[in-house]
Amino acid sequence: MRYHPLTATDRAEMLARIGVPAIDALFADVPADKLLTDLIDLPRMRGELEVERLMGRMAAKNVPASSVPFFVGAGAYKHHVPATVDHLIQRSEFLTSYTPYQPEITQGTLQYLFEFQTQVAELTGMEVANASMYDGSTATGEAVLMAHRLTRRNKAVVSGGLHPQYRAVVETLSDMAEDRVQALPPDPLGTEDILAAIDRDTSCVVVQSPSFYGHLIDLAPIAEKAHACGALLIAVFTEVVSLGLIEPPGRQGADIVVGEGQSIGNALGFGGPYVGLMATRQKFLRQMPGRLCGETVDAENRRGFVLTLSTREQHIRRDKATSNICTNSGLCCLAFTIHMTLLGSAGLERLARLNHEAAIKLADALGRVPGVQVLNDGFFNEFTLRVPGDAAAVIERLAERGILGGLAVSRLEPGRGLDDLIVVAATEVNTDEDRAAYAEALAAVI
Partner 1 sequence: MLNDQGRPTRPEGAAPAEGTPAATPWTFTGNRALRVEEPLIFEIGRAETTGVDLPAPDGLAPRLGRLARKAAPDLPGLTEPEAMRHYVRLSRSNYSIDTGLYPLGSCTMKHNPRLNEKMARLPGFSDVHPLQPVSTVPGALDVIADLGGWLCRLTGMDAVAMSPKAGAHGELCGMMAIKAAIRARGETRNVVLVPESAHGTNPATAALIGMTVRDVPARADGTVDVEAVKALLGPDVAAIMLTNPNTCGIFEPEVAAIAEAVHAAGAYFYADGANFNAIVGKVRPGDLGVDAMHINLHKTFSTPHGGGGPGAGPVVLSSRLAPFAPLPFIRLDAGRPVLVETEAGTAPGETPFGRMTAFHGQMGMFTRALAYMLSHGTDGLRQASEDAVLAANYVRAGLADLMTLPFPDHPSMHEVLFDDGFLKETGITTLDFAKAMIDEGYHPMTMYFPLVVHGAMLIEPTESESKASLDLFVATLRDLVLSAKRGETERFTQAPRFAPRRRLDETRAARSPKLRWEKPKPWTAAEAAE
Q: Which residues of 136-154 are buried (b: 16+ CB within 10 A; e: fewer)?
A: bbbbbbbbbbbbbbbbebb
User: Between residue 11 and residue 30, which ones bind partner 1 under the rule CB under 8 A?
Assistant: 11, 13-15, 17-20, 23, 25-30
* # of chain residues touching partner 1 (CB under 8 A): 206
> Per CB under 8 A, does 340 bind partner 1?
yes
Nearer to partner 1, 129 or 229 (CB): 129
By CB under 8 A, name the one of 145, 158, 206, 442 that touches partner 1: 145
CA 160 to chain centre: 19
Nearer to partner 1, 122 or 224 (CB): 122
Q: Which residues of 243-277 are buried (b: 16+ CB within 10 A; e: fewer)?
A: bbbbebbbebbbbbbbbbbbbbbbbbeeeeebbbb
**358 three-class SS:** helix
> Per CB under 8 A, does 41 bind partner 1?
yes
With contacts defined by CB under 8 A, name the span among 114-122, 198-206, 222-230, 433-441 that binds partner 1: 114-122
The residue type found at 126 is M
User: How many Å apart are CA 203 and CA 304, to the nearest integer?
Assistant: 38
> Per CB under 8 A, does 283 bind partner 1?
no
Binding mask 178-217 for partner 1 (x = CB under 8 A): x------------------------------x------x-
> Per CB under 8 A, does 152 bind partner 1?
no
By CB under 8 A, name the one of 208, 328, 384, 427 that touches partner 1: 328
Beta carbons of 430 and 362 less than 8 angstroms apart? yes
Smallest distance, Å, CB 160 to partner 1?
A: 17
User: Between residue 294 and residue 313, which ones bind partner 1 under the rule CB under 8 A?
Assistant: 294-306, 308-309, 311, 313
Smallest distance, Å, CB 67 to partner 1?
A: 7
Q: How far apart are the first and last CA of the chain?
A: 56
> Per CB under 8 A, does 261 bind partner 1?
no
- Containing 58, the helix (H) or strand (E) segment is helix 48-60
User: How many Å apart are CA 12 and CA 20, to the nearest integer?
Assistant: 10
C-alpha separations of 322 from 145, 285, 430 in Å: 9, 11, 42
User: Between residue 349 and residue 388, which ones bind partner 1 under the rule CB under 8 A?
Assistant: 349-351, 353-354, 356-357, 360-361, 377-380
Q: Which residues of 16-38 are buried (b: 16+ CB within 10 A; e: fewer)?
A: eeeeeeeeeeeeeeeeeeeeeee
> Per CB under 8 A, does 433 bind partner 1?
no
User: How many Å apart are CA 365 and CA 434, to the nearest integer?
Assistant: 11
User: How many Å apart are CA 80 and CA 97, to the nearest integer?
Assistant: 27
Nearer to partner 1, 136 or 229 (CB): 136
Smallest distance, Å, CB 57 to partner 1?
A: 8
Nearer to partner 1, 230 or 304 (CB): 304
> Per CB under 8 A, does 224 bind partner 1?
no
Nearer to partner 1, 106 or 202 (CB): 106
Nearer to partner 1, 4 or 200 (CB): 4
By CB under 8 A, name the one of 234, 235, 256, 331 that touches partner 1: 331
Residue 175, judged by CB atoms within 10 A of its CB (0-12, 13-18, 19+), counts as exposed
